[in-house]
Amino acid sequence: MLRFTHIILSVALAVGAAGSATADGHEKAVTDLSGAPADAIQMDDISAALAVPRGTRIEPSAPPTVRLPIFFEFNSTVLRPDAEELLDKVGAALASNDLAEFRFSVEGHTDSVGGMGYNQSLSQQRAAAVKAYLVALGVSKVRLQTVGHGESTPVATNESDTGRQRNRRVELINLGSSQ
């Protein structure tokens, strides 16, 4: 029996649905599609969530976020077919007229299972795997950078399977105009 690691692709955005205010008063919107089947998420959903109106300043301290389900083989950087299906839609969204002018940081995260050094490396490799897949789809590699955070920035407890699953994720952060 194959074991799978569930990864959440959190796309940090410049604008999104209304959400809660952060400590500095900025709105942080979260569109959480992580529970949706990958085949139910459409490219237009991703484009609409990532679109930033011209002239809108991206607030790096509190970017709105959309979470998408991405799957890797257990303890691996190999993308599962359903992850590839969803990344096909992400790639199409990034290539759309609404998003073609933006740069993104692909940032990998892990849970706390395993050593810190190993998790740091795995998170970087998973971010690189997502970038490589998007570049193979035609997204310019100069629009994408990668960062690995390992287990350093959990979004949930590592004391439960559900929490660890939420912490295993890749975030795509809108860095603003590439021009």
Model confidence over 25-68: pLDDT tens digits? Answer: 444 455 666 667 888 989 988 877 777 666 676 666 655 456 67
DSSP character at residue 158:
S
- DSSP reduced 3-state for 165: helix
Euclidean distance between the first and the last CA atom of the chain, given in angstroms as a whole number: 48
- 133-144 mean pLDDT: 96
Does pTM top 0.75 for this prediction? yes
The pLDDT of residue 82: 86
* Residue 133 identity: Y
Residue 51 belongs to domain with CATH number: 3.30.1330.60
Outline where 25-80 has alpha helix (H): 43-50
Residue 79: both structure tokens together: 């993308």
Q: What is the pLDDT of residue 11?
A: 44
Helix, strand, coil percentages for the chain (3-state, nearest 5): 30, 25, 40
- Could you tell me if 13 and 65 are in contact, meaning their C-beta atoms sit under 8 angstroms apart? yes
pLDDT tens digits, 66-84: 667 777 776 888 888 888 9
Range of the domain at 150: 4-177
What's the confidence (pLDDT) of residue 2?
A: 39
Q: Name the domain count of the chain.
A: 1
Determine the Cα–Cα distance for residues 109 and 55; give it in Å rounded to an integer.
31
19 versus 110: the higher-pLDDT residue is 110
Burial of 15-37, coded b for 16+ CB within 10 Å and e otherwise, reads bbeeeeeeeeeeebbbbebbeee
